[in-house]
Structure 1
Amino acid sequence: MESEAIKVVSSPELRLLGHFRLECNAEPVELCRNGQRLLAFVALRRRVCRTVLAGTLWPEVTEDHARGSLRTTLWKFPRVDQPLIRCSGDSLVAAETLHVDVHAFTETALSVVLGCGPPPLTQLPKGLLGGEDLLPGWDEEWVLLERERLRQLRLHALDALAETLVREGKPALALEAAWESVRTEPLRESAHRAAVSAHLAEDNLIEAVRHYRSFRRLLREELGVEPSPRFARMLACHGMAVFGRVTPD
């Protein structure tokens, strides 16, 4: 008797960093626009009250109308091997099997910020370099708030990563992390301090002073302010013996 083929079911994958993409069993699943919005919101929050969900996704209509739109959207959800959302009282809960890239990124970034990454680092954590924005092109308020939260988390993780790599004696990787932060937010002083720390770790005093002066000019031109005293002291204690004074251009 021939054995029956065993069907392998993989966990559904939801991509929100970059363009929206849902996959079940490695195959793309199409959702209508409201379906995408609903799944993205529930997946980000993991558990949402129906009233909050309806009011957020359909803010310009009455509560009854919004809850009706929510029911219609849920009814139109594709039937897949593993439910993507389940009901729990008056709340909707994302399936535990649903893999969401935002949560994976958040865990990685927080582990770096908290210093819980697997030392010693031999490569930069996935997602921190060249990271994509949350749902680009979506301009709803809840998306904008979450997008900014993730941007700030990524910047803090990059700064922390650069500091860790300097301590581990990996200045080249530290510079990569620092420059990624600088490219994301050119006026962020902590990113420039991380870059200067990496130069100093290699005893490249000229590069460190050049970077400091470039950042100082940028701040003057854009904001009319000076770098913090902390930044100046950090560089001066290494560079004054060689350059005399490091702050003037």
Structure 2
Amino acid sequence: MIHIQLFGSLSVQHAMPDGNINPLTLTTKVGDILAFLSLFRGRYFSRDELVSEIWEDNYGKEVSQGAFNTTLWRLRKKIEKKYYRAGELFRRDCRGFLCFRKEADVYLDIEEFKRKACQSTTNRVDKLTQTQVNSLCESVELYSADILGNFTAEWALREREKIRRVYFNVLRKLIEYYRFQKDYRSSIRYAQLILDNEPLREDVHRELMELYELSGQRAMALRQFEECRNLLRKELAIPPMRQTMQLYHQIAEHALHPEHKLKTESDELPIETFNVLEQLPPELTDQFPVDTVGPSTDSSPGKLINQARKHIALADERLRKTIKHFNK
């Protein structure tokens, strides 16, 4: 059986009956055609469509019929004629359109990913079976890297983004499921995977702050806020959103008064206060940076209370400076 891997870079292998794996080396043009047909397996394409989508960006519009046929012949010789019967892997219809057959005995990692990822992402988390959860987890493991990472053609970029969205939907579902199950450690792990790919997702930073707080890791929750704030300031020159500041103050207040349950929506500070913060120029907010909470293992009540008091004092000083700035 032929194994085609699209996650990461294109890789083609022949899995022999004795379990040995034989890597297959393809030329760039042959690899381009195979990668494209693998992504759209089961669909028929005309020669003009294939040339336009696959070759035009890299090789220009002047690709002769002979050059195309030669590349296709090399693909069939390298894979189909060696390991399959004629027409078993690729088929032409009466119009001359080409298709990578769905029925062909081929393992394609992206098809396995879609099969495992898409069967249960629409279900409510309280309705997921353990089998469905296992499939979602397995799909995450299959996503080792973005598909065809070394391809720059428009078709590859489009499909890469589509698969990324599926991947993030799976991660979101697993975050929700494990939070519902109160398995905060697993929920945190999947939230971190989103930030590994999209570090500016402020909604995920908030999710992690809540998960750390719920799991008793208050210092980590405050540290997550610092990471979010520093990234936004460095990359976009903007402060955190009102909801993020709101959650940060709730967690800091909870450190002072642990008997108070953490709220998902809080009115402890007026909305106008956060609107002012959002309008504050970066040069003013930089005058009062909040110290990063280090990964200390000291989680004693006294240590956490002192940290919270320090954060609240610095935040209050920033607010006073903000009011003075807007009253000028």
The alignment's TM-score, normalised by the length of structure 2, stands at 0.62
Distance 1:214 1:31, change over 3 A: closer
Q: Structure 1 residue 101: deviation in Å? A: 0.9
1:171-186 matches, cutoff 5 A: 171-186=184-199
Conserved? CA contact 1:159–1:194, under 8 Å: no
The equivalent of 2:183 in structure 1 is 170
Structure 1: which amino acid aligns with 2:206? Answer: R
Q: Which has the higher helix share?
A: 2
Show the counterpart of 1:36.
Answer: 31
Report whether the alignment pairs 1:108 with 2:108: no
Label 1:162 to 1:204 Cα distance change in 2 as closer, same or farther (>3 A): same
Q: 2:216, 2:25 → 1: CA distance? A: 54
CA distance in 2, matches of 1:209, 1:58: 50
Which residue of the partner structure matches residue 140 of structure 1? 153
Matches within 5 A, 1:71-220: 71-76=69-74, 77-78=76-77, 79=81, 80-81=83-84, 83-90=88-95, 91-96=97-102, 97-111=105-119, 113-115=121-123, 118-119=129-130, 121=133, 125-128=137-140, 131-220=144-233
Deviations 1:118-165 (A, max 9, x none): 437479723525722222322222223322333343234323322221
The 1-side partners of 2:117 and 2:245 are apart by: 29
Q: Partner of 1:58 in structure 2? A: 55
Question: For 2:9, which of 14, 19, 30 is the aligned residue?
Answer: 19
* Equivalences for residues 231-242 of structure 1 within 5 A: 231-234=244-247, 236-237=249-250, 239-242=252-255
For residues 169-219 of structure 1, give each alpha carbon's deviation from its aligned partner in whole angstroms, at most 9, with x where no partner exists: 211111111112212221122332332232133133332222123312221
Tell whether the 8 Å contact from 2:116 to 2:135 is kept in structure 1 after alignment. Answer: no
Q: Is the 8 A contact 1:20 1:135 kept in 2?
A: yes
Deviation at 1:237, TM superposition (A): 4.8
CA spacing shift, 1:66–1:172, aligned 2, 3 Å = farther
Question: Do the aligned partners of 1:54 and 1:66 also contact (CA within 8 Å) in 2?
Answer: no
Instruction: State the structure with more CA Rg.
Output: 2
**117-126 vs 211-220, greater mean Cα deviation:** 117-126
> In 2, are the aligned partners of 1:58 and 1:66 still within 8 Å (CA)?
no
Question: CA 1:229 to 1:110, structure 2 compared with 1: closer, same or farther past 3 Å?
Answer: farther
Supply the AA of the counterpart residue of 1:86: R
**8 Å CA contact retained: 1:17, 1:102:** yes
- 8 Å contact kept, 2:117–2:135: no
The whole-number CA distance in structure 2 between the counterparts of 1:112 and 1:216 is 34
Shift of 1:38: 0.8
Identical residues among aligned pairs (%): 22
SS of match in other structure, 1:28: strand
Provide the aligned length of Structure 1 versus Structure 2: 237
> How far off is 1:236 after superposition?
4.7
